[in-house]
Amino acid sequence: MKCLINKTNVFLLFSFLLLFPHVGLCQTKITNNLELTTAEKVFLAEHTPIRIGIMNNWPPLNYVDENGKPAGIGVGYFEALNKKLGGSLVLEPAPFQENYEKVKNKQLDALMDITPKPDREAFFKFTKPYLAVPHVIVGRKEGPYFSSEKDLTAKTVALEKGYYNITYFRQNYPEVKIKEYNSTGDALDAVSRGEADAYAGNRAVAIYLIEKEIINNLQLQGRLGIPPSELTIGARNDWPMLVVILDKALRAISESEREAINAHYVKSRYEPWFASKQFWTVVLLSIGIVVLIGLLSLIWTRSLRRLVELKTKELTREISERKLANERLKASEEKYRTLFETANDAILLIRQDCFVDCNTRTLALFGCRREQIIGASFYKFSPPLQPDGRRSEEKALEKIKLALTDGPQYFEWEHCRLDGTSFAAEVNLSRLLLGDEVLLLAIVRDITERKLAAEREMELVKVRELDRMKSLFIASMSHELRTPLNSIIGFTGILVQGMAGELNDEQKKQLGMVKGSARHLLTLINDVIDVSKIEAEKIQLSIDEFNLSDTVINIKETFQTALEEKGDQLTLDIPEKLMIKSDERRIKQIVMNLVSNAIKFMGKGEITIRAGIKQDQVEVSVCDSGYGIQAENLPKLFKQFSRIFTDGQPQQEGTGLGLYLSQKLAKILGGVIKAESEFKKGSIFTVILPVEYKGGSE
């Protein structure tokens, strides 16, 4: 602020000097190059004050301003002269004609601004001209344009009374009508009113008056052919010395002084009040204010610019930030939209109890178009009743209420499509604040598959459990069944042996049949127990290392009696040692079953048991020379309770469980039983087992 004031002061001073250059200039050149002779100095001293008349109403050349002070270009020159002549001159303003007469009568010593004319030379001695003012034609703007005197032919020209121009027109352009007025102002007024067509006269005066009186419809047009008015000072004709002194003084006025005077008056020619203090105060104040405003506006502009720059920067940053944020928002929105749209669950927005938005999955799930969902109520896609027997609408409203007050609700829901089909869903219902609005977000997952899978799983578990129960039941029942068989077999054995007394042959034979049947029943029961155990997953293995050859020999011994009775041959083709690691009892059970089958089904024939190791597998095969098995029957061999009847073969008792159980056991031991047969030639059943048990396949 301090800085601002200083700047303003400097600026004001500078403006002042610009406006008043003559002040400085005149002061410095006051006494330069005026050299008066002694006679001239004496003359001046004797005649001081020398009275000089000027016109009081010919602005801007000479006039008296509203304060009664003489002013004008002429006065400017007078003051310059007076300074050079040491203030020996006094000024006497009066109308031209009055002053003219006074000089003629020696009542005034000289007259300013007089144009030398032959008729005036009788009374005046003229100095050299100090000013030349051209003459112009003034016409109305809307009227014809008068470029020279010729254009004024037959026109009326307004002229000032007593002025030389009247003589000029009368002598040179008699066709021009002349109207005389008391002053230049009156004459111009007459043109303005249309009383005259044009005015011709001093340009400076005309311009001054037009602008001062604001005679808007007038304009300067052409120039008069006469030479410009040369203004001189006319001294009384008996004082030639005065003319000499004035000429010297005029010459002493430097070119710059002249320019200053002219510029000053021409510049303010239509402002007769220019010299007044109020005027300058106003001007200075105005200028000051203008400058101040200018400066302030400059500062303001600059600060504004800075502010604008700052704001622009801020805005640019903000715009780029917003752009970035927008892009992020867009990307984010895209991301969430994609999430929303590609989610494999139906996602719905609910307002009150109506759907307002949903993803694509919803449409697939509900089997409808978007417009069928949007605006629809929650229960439009639900059957009247839920599986628990409650009304869908009532239950839905309760869930919505809970979701709004107690947090997310997670429940199963029966939905129905518009086509009436229904599906089980899992609904996750939660409160969602979107802007100021409270909505509900529902994520609906179709759990039909899951439910089906769960049901299947449940059924499977049930079936397995039932199966296990059945097997357990059979196992325990079989145990109970076996207890009385123990007595039957035991006591028939005692009787057959004759331990309780001698029996005849028929009695022995019949009791033998009882014993055989009891044994068969026992085998049946044992097999059932084993099958049940296997199915109840209760079979336990006892893995140990043993010599399989010994086992096979033991088996042969077991069947010795039966073989001898039937007259069959059993040959062994085994190495001495066949060490394997497995469950001996189970292997024995399998092989015995195969041998028993061979004895039972081949009729009379030969049986060979072969055993050997191939790589890491042991193979035990039971070959018979029996009826063989028809190819189409081979696949049925290992089925539970399946009995095969071969043509020509006598029917035998059987459980239908033997091979099924043997195969099961072989698999439990990590092996398998393979059957080969040639019809009417015999069969080969081979057990293939790992040399070392490492887990079963069942």
Q: Which residues bind another protein (CB under 8 A)?
A: 479, 482-483, 485-491, 493-494, 497, 499-500, 522, 526, 529, 533, 539-542, 583, 585-586
Q: With respect to another protein, which residue has the nearer C-beta, 487 or 507?
A: 487
Q: CB 536 → another protein: shortest distance, Å?
A: 12
What string of DSSP letters covers 355-403?
EEEE-HHHHHHHTS-HHHHTT-BGGGGS-SB-TTS-BHHHHHHHHHHHH
Q: How many residues does the chain have?
A: 698
Helix (H) / strand (E) containing 611: strand 606-614
Nearest C-alpha neighbor of 132 from the set 109, 148, 146, 113: 113
- By CB atoms closer than 10 A (0-12, 13-18, 19+), residue 375 is exposed
Give the three-state DSSP class for 427: strand
Q: CB 663 → another protein: shortest distance, Å?
A: 18
- By CB atoms closer than 10 A (0-12, 13-18, 19+), residue 606 is middle
Structural tokens at position 78: 């007078």
Q: CB 481 → another protein: shortest distance, Å?
A: 11
DSSP state of 651: P
Q: With respect to another protein, which residue has the nearer C-beta, 158 or 489?
A: 489
Q: CB 508 → another protein: shortest distance, Å?
A: 14
Give the three-state DSSP class for 408: coil
Residue 370 and residue 363 in contact, taking contact as beta carbons nearer than 8 Å: yes
Alpha-carbon distance of 359 to 337, in angstroms, equals 9
Q: CB 540 → another protein: shortest distance, Å?
A: 4
Q: With respect to another protein, which residue has the nearer C-beta, 408 or 490?
A: 490
Q: CB 502 → another protein: shortest distance, Å?
A: 14
Q: With respect to another protein, which residue has the nearer C-beta, 4 or 494?
A: 494
Alpha-carbon distance of 575 to 547, in angstroms, equals 10
Residue 198 and residue 157 in contact, taking contact as beta carbons nearer than 8 Å: yes
Q: With respect to another protein, which residue has the nearer C-beta, 86 or 696?
A: 696
Q: With respect to another protein, which residue has the nearer C-beta, 558 or 642?
A: 558
Strand partners, 218: 140
Alpha-carbon distance of 86 to 75, in angstroms, equals 16
Count of CB atoms situated within 10 Å of the CB of 333: 12
DSSP state of 118: G
Q: With respect to another protein, which residue has the nearer C-beta, 415 or 533?
A: 533
Q: CB 616 → another protein: shortest distance, Å?
A: 24
Q: With respect to another protein, which residue has the nearer C-beta, 558 or 633?
A: 558
- Taking the CA atoms of residue 501, residue 506, residue 507 and residue 508 in that order, the dihedral angle to the nearest 10 degrees is 70
Structural tokens at position 391: 């009304």
Q: With respect to another protein, which residue has the nearer C-beta, 530 or 624?
A: 530
Q: CB 479 → another protein: shortest distance, Å?
A: 6
Give the three-state DSSP class for 570: strand
Q: With respect to another protein, which residue has the nearer C-beta, 171 or 542?
A: 542
Q: With respect to another protein, which residue has the nearer C-beta, 45 or 494?
A: 494
Beta strands 124-126 and 579-582: pairing type?
unpaired
Helix (H) / strand (E) containing 220: strand 218-223
Residue 7 and residue 295 in contact, taking contact as beta carbons nearer than 8 Å: yes
Q: CB 544 → another protein: shortest distance, Å?
A: 11
Residue 548 and residue 618 in contact, taking contact as beta carbons nearer than 8 Å: yes
Q: CB 425 → another protein: shortest distance, Å?
A: 50
Q: CB 477 → another protein: shortest distance, Å?
A: 12
Q: CB 542 → another protein: shortest distance, Å?
A: 5
Strands, sheet with 682-690, edge to edge from the N-terminal-most edge strand: 569-573, 606-614, 617-624, 682-690, 672-678
Q: CB 681 → another protein: shortest distance, Å?
A: 35
Q: With respect to another protein, which residue has the nearer C-beta, 81 or 539?
A: 539
Q: With respect to another protein, which residue has the nearer C-beta, 233 or 529?
A: 529
Q: With respect to another protein, which residue has the nearer C-beta, 372 or 558?
A: 558
Q: CB 696 → another protein: shortest distance, Å?
A: 14
Strand partners, 416: 422
Beta strands per DSSP E along 636-681: 672-678
- List all residues 6 or more positions away from 83 whose beta carbon is below 8 Å from its beta carbon: 26, 30
Nearest C-alpha neighbor of 561 from the set 519, 624, 589: 519
Nearest C-alpha neighbor of 415 from the set 403, 404, 431, 427: 427
Q: CB 522 → another protein: shortest distance, Å?
A: 6
φ, ψ of residue 14 in degrees (nearest 5): -65, -45
Q: With respect to another protein, which residue has the nearer C-beta, 278 or 483?
A: 483
- Taking the CA atoms of residue 43, residue 46, residue 48 and residue 53 in that order, the dihedral angle to the nearest 10 degrees is -60
